[in-house]
Structures are given as structure tokens and as C-alpha cells.
Structure 1
């Protein structure tokens, strides 16, 4: 075999050294691919030729590719969301929107660690496009989600030999941003027992009394909106969580709970039992009054014409009730946290609390949903009184 390094002379008389080497077949077309490289010295050319040949023989060579970041993300999302729910697929796509905005037009192979670091910095300071003041910073959690999805996509790009390495692998969210996020999270606490009772006293008799109680027994907002009367057995005093009703990209999606544990039958506390019975009777009267205009959707949470509510409307209505009751404004989802904290600190066994929540992982319930406060800790202080007394 002859020397693969060829000496060439340019028009200006300059001497260069060039080689042409097979780098395998195009995975898309199956056509043979060749790489041509030119260097100032024969030594440089020979070293690069040896490197490329070794990588090609080992199946590790990454050839030049013009794929942009956005084009690659399209490919990755298509393959990675094949077996996931519509809402999950939408979350994946949403998480990558900042990457598309900042790096989408750039060649994937040209993205550097500095590009990813600058992306994170921009997101933390001015990356918000919706859900708050446009141009303000996104939450640390949102940035973590974006970074995680981008890393995952680059891992697949490496496996398909589109990039040499994962330039997002070692990018970290600055410590100060994480510290501030932790401090903010510590301030966001669910209602205390006193606040729950104050709120309930204010809304007793309100049309939404029963749906709010559903949230306060730990049902997710999407589960409240997805509850049908067919899943409520007032004679037996139980309800079955079988369906969630959520908004995905502006459209209502009805689906079962995330896991088998999420499907659960709950006994009705007496106040909720009475409130549901009253709410059903009220809806029967509303249906008679509305006549043919009434929509018999079968859902528990409907308006006066029988139209089923969506989670965003439920959230706004609860916040309005909080304002009228002059109680601290919290997320409707925090009612779930308040309920599970109350059960856990009232002596209900952990396994029962987790089953009530519909969680498959007992440790997850305790780690994320239980928030003991100083009053709960007073029991421990009372026990120490005996030891130290």
C-alpha cells in the first residue's frame, strides 16, 4: 500500500500535505463517506491520519456533520417520547425551548461548554417567556429540567457518533442560585391546621364547598377535575380515583393516574360525604332549571350548566376564595401537602399516608409531602421533658 499522505503544491507555490480516508457509510443513505484533510507539514498530516484511522477501525470516529441543535432535538424528541404520555412529551419539548432559542441555529458539533454555561446564566437571569414577568429569570428547577433534557439528548448524539463528547455534562447551576432557590422553597409552606379551619369556616355553604374539600383530603387538582359521579358511592361512603383531567398545550386530556398506586378507593370523611350529597342535589336542581342547555358530562366539578371545569379555572376559583376568606394564599396543590402532613403528624402509619396519597414510593411521600412545623415538634419536646426532668 502506498503512502496515504500526498504532497500537493498550491498555485502560490506553497507545499501542503493531504490525505483522503474512508470513514464508513452514511447511516441515513448507506453511501460511502470519505474525509479529506490538508496540513502544513507531513508530520501533522500523518498524525491526524493515524488518529482518524484508529477511531474509524474502533467505530468511534465522529465525522463532520451539519446537523443543527434544533434539528437534532427534533430527532431526539421523536425517538424519546414514543412511549410516553402526551403531557410528558409536551413537558420534554417545553423544557428544551430555551436551548432552541439560544443555540437552535448552531451546528451541534460547534456547541461548546461555554455555550451551555451561558445558556444557564441567561435562563437564570432573563429566560422567562411566560408564567410570570417576561424577561425575568426562570426557577432553578426549570433550569435543571432543561439542562437534564439537553444532557440526555447529547448522550444519544454521542452514541450515534454525531458529537465527540457531551458538552453539557459538567455544567452546574451556580451555588448562589441554588441557595436562593432553597431559601424561597423554605418560605413556601402548606397551611397549618388553624389556617385550614379558618378557610373552611369561610366557604361553608359555598357552591364549591365539596370540590374544595376534595382538594383538602389530598386529591390532586387534576384528580378533582377528573372525578365522575359514577366513581362516587354515596351509599358506601367511598370514592374511586380513576381519572385525571389536565390541560396539555391548551387542550383537555383525560387519562388514568400515573401509576397503579394512583388508582385508589378512599373512604369519605363525614363532612365531605355530606358536602358531596348536597352538591349532587344542588346540581340536580340546576339541571332542571337549565333544561336542554344543561350538559350532562357526569363530572363532579361542573358549573351551573353542567360544563366540566379545567384545572386552571379551579385554581383561580380557589385563589379567589382564599382572598375572600383573608387566609394566606397558597397553591391548590399545597392543600395536598397540608393533608398528608396532618395525617402523618396525627399518628396515621406511614404506609397508610402513602397509600392515601396514591404514591408507589413511601420514602417519596415522607421526603416531599410531609412538613412538620414547630407545633408538631412540640411532642418531641414534651418527651424530652420526661428524659431531662
Structure 2
């Protein structure tokens, strides 16, 4: 047990207790904690609160981040400001961060679900990651001596419990994909849905203009996205990474659907006259107004419901696409290029999700190993 100073709000003495298997380990940790305490005493006094430092840090980060990323950082850090924001930066302790983490897992949800329930592990870890990044910068600026959030982690048991309780919705299998294609053949957004099944992100589909499509050469260029920020504001920006800028071949089915969609838009423009908004986007409504990712998803969910199809996220069409391509033997470097990833390990980890039927060929191959060969004929 070791003293770590007074609590910033109550002035009460604070102590840290750690338990170890040996006296040697306990002495080493005691020396480590006291050394950190004495080092911290050498840092010049600074009155700013954690809230004030996070504002300053975010303002600096904003110069190097996309607008939507800044928004994400702001919302992520907002989860912990209520409990920790008023604490003076130099008074923030590991116990404070750990107390927030436990509270967040237990009852920290205020939006995006039932208020007062626990946040998911991924959300808590994201907030901790941003806090650790901000505190690392504070250490570099000599505002604090150590990053008190560095060793705070979501308990393994909690992580495992969430995994057991969570319902995992697998992406569509081959039969479900074909049923969806058959259901949307007559839909106005048929071409856009086929682009989803080609593995394009919804934000990429929303950002495509007709100038990006060469129907004669059957190619499509992806180099911008239109993202819905905060489910309200549409932000147009470059692709997620340099690897996201790519040129893809158009399968005949998709090329024909796009040609039909383009012809339909010409007719719609003539019918609408001056009311038509000619903005050159591919994904538009009957008056030429650009559609966003939420509108595309909502239409997809309507089609699923009307045709009694299992509801999955439209984004998960990427997994259906890349699982099928991987099963068909498409080489890793081509798979990553198609997905817009720098590293094929990203594609395989997150988007190649074989189901039990995909494993049937492996079972048949195993059967050859265990089968007793027939006796040789004399």
C-alpha cells in the first residue's frame, strides 16, 4: 500500500493497493509507484482541466484529420468528459480512469440505445484509446509526468462475457445473395445494390459520379466518398486511404444495370424539367437529388422486408463478396486491391467469413484422408 496524494475534489488521502505473489514483486512495484509520484512533483503546476486539455488537443489534431474523423473523436471523448472532464489534468489518476471504465461498462450509455445501460467493449476501448493518445501528448509537452490511462484495460472476463451474449449476424450466403438480386431486379436502385454486392462501401457508392464510370471499357473508378456524419450532415471527401483509390472492372451484369439506370435518369430529367438537379452523381432520386448512405440502406431494408429476406447490414455485402471471391481462388493481392485495402490481412480478417457450407469442400478432402482405399484387383 502506498500514498499517491490527496483527492482533487475532497482533499482526502488516497492510497493504492496492489497484491503480488512475492515480496520481491511487491517491492519493485512500490518503488515504481513512488518514483512516479516524486517525478510528477517536479512537473510545473498547470491549472487546466482535462476538458481544457482535450479541447486544445482536438484543435491541434483537427489540422491533420478529416472532418468526419474529428467528429468521431469528439463524440468518443464526450463519453468520459462528464465524469473526468472537470478534474485538473495533473490531478487525474489511474483510479479515476478505471472508475470511469467500470461505470461506462455498467451504465454509461446515453445515446444510440437504452439510456443507463452499459456501453459495448469496443466503444469503451475507443474512448480509452483516444484518452491515452491525448495524455501521451500531454506527457510530451511536460504537462504531466506519466500517462495515467496507459495500463487501464477492459477486463478480459467482461470481454468474454460480451462475446458470449452478443448475437452475431452472419453476412448473406450465396443463395441469399441471389435471392436479393432477384428481388431488386425491378427496383430503381438495382444498379446501386449490385455495386454493394461488388464489395463497394455505401459511402463510395454515394460518391460516384457518371464521369467515374466508363461503360465502353467496363471500368469504374473509386476516388471519393460521401459520408453521413452524425446521421445528419453529408461530408464529401477522399477515400478512406490511398489504397481506397482504385479502378475496378465492371461485370457485365453491373455494366448493363448502370447503363439502364443512366438511360432512366435521362427520361426523369426530361420529365422533371427545371425541377431537376443536375449534379452528375450516379446515386440520385427521380429529381436528380443526391442520395446518402442512410437512404440507400433504408431502401435495401424495405426490399428485404417485402421479400422475406434475412435482414443484414448493406455494408456486410462486402463480406459476402470477398468470401465468395476468396473461395473461388482469387489471389490475395487481387482481393486486397478489389477491397481497397493496403494489406490483404485486413481483407481476410474482417471480410472473408466462410460458413459451414463453404467448408464442405474441406470436409470432402478430409474424407479422402480417412477413407480406406479399395483392395487392388488381382
C-alpha displacement of 1:185: 6.2
Match of 1:366 in 2: 348
Q: Does 1:354 align with 2:354?
A: no
C-alpha displacement of 1:72: 0.7
Secondary structure of 2:358's aligned partner? helix
Q: Does 1:278 align with 2:260?
A: yes
- Quote the Cα distance in structure 2 between the aligned partners of 1:55 and 1:313: 55
Q: Does 1:252 align with 2:234?
A: yes
TM-score where L is the length of structure 2: 0.84
Match of 1:167 in 2: 148
1:100 is matched with which residue: 67, 81, 99? Answer: 81
Match of 2:282 in 1: 300
Match of 1:309 in 2: 291
1:141 is matched with which residue: 122, 134, 140? Answer: 122
Match of 2:59 in 1: 78
Deviates more, 1:247-256 or 1:335-344: 247-256
- Quote the Cα distance in structure 2 between the aligned partners of 1:320 and 1:125: 35
Task: State the aligned residue count.
Answer: 335
Match of 2:306 in 1: 324
Match of 1:377 in 2: 359
Q: Structure 2: state its 5+ residue gaps.
A: 1-34, 372-378
Deviates more, 1:268-277 or 1:154-163: 154-163
C-alpha displacement of 1:173: 0.7
1:210 is matched with which residue: 168, 188, 191? Answer: 191
C-alpha displacement of 1:125: 2.4
* RMSD of aligned alpha carbons: 2.0
- Quote the Cα distance in structure 2 between the aligned partners of 1:133 and 1:289: 46
Q: Over alpha carbons, which structure has the higher Rg? A: 1
Deviations 1:32-55 (A, max 9, x none): xxxxxxxxxxxxxxxxxxx9xx96
C-alpha displacement of 1:109: 2.0
Match of 2:102 in 1: 121
Match of 2:45 in 1: 64
Deviations 1:273-311 (A, max 9, x none): 111111111111111111100001111110110000111
Secondary structure of 1:252's aligned partner? strand
Q: Greater relative contact order (Cα 8 A, min sep 6): structure 1 or 2? A: 2
Match of 1:220 in 2: 201
Contact persistence 2:39–2:145 (CA under 8 A) = no
- Quote the Cα distance in structure 1 between the aligned partners of 2:157 and 2:195: 39
Secondary structure of 1:376's aligned partner? coil
- Quote the Cα distance in structure 1 between the aligned partners of 2:288 and 2:362: 49
Q: Structure 1: state its 5+ residue gaps.
A: 1-50
- Quote the Cα distance in structure 1 between the aligned partners of 2:313 and 2:331: 26
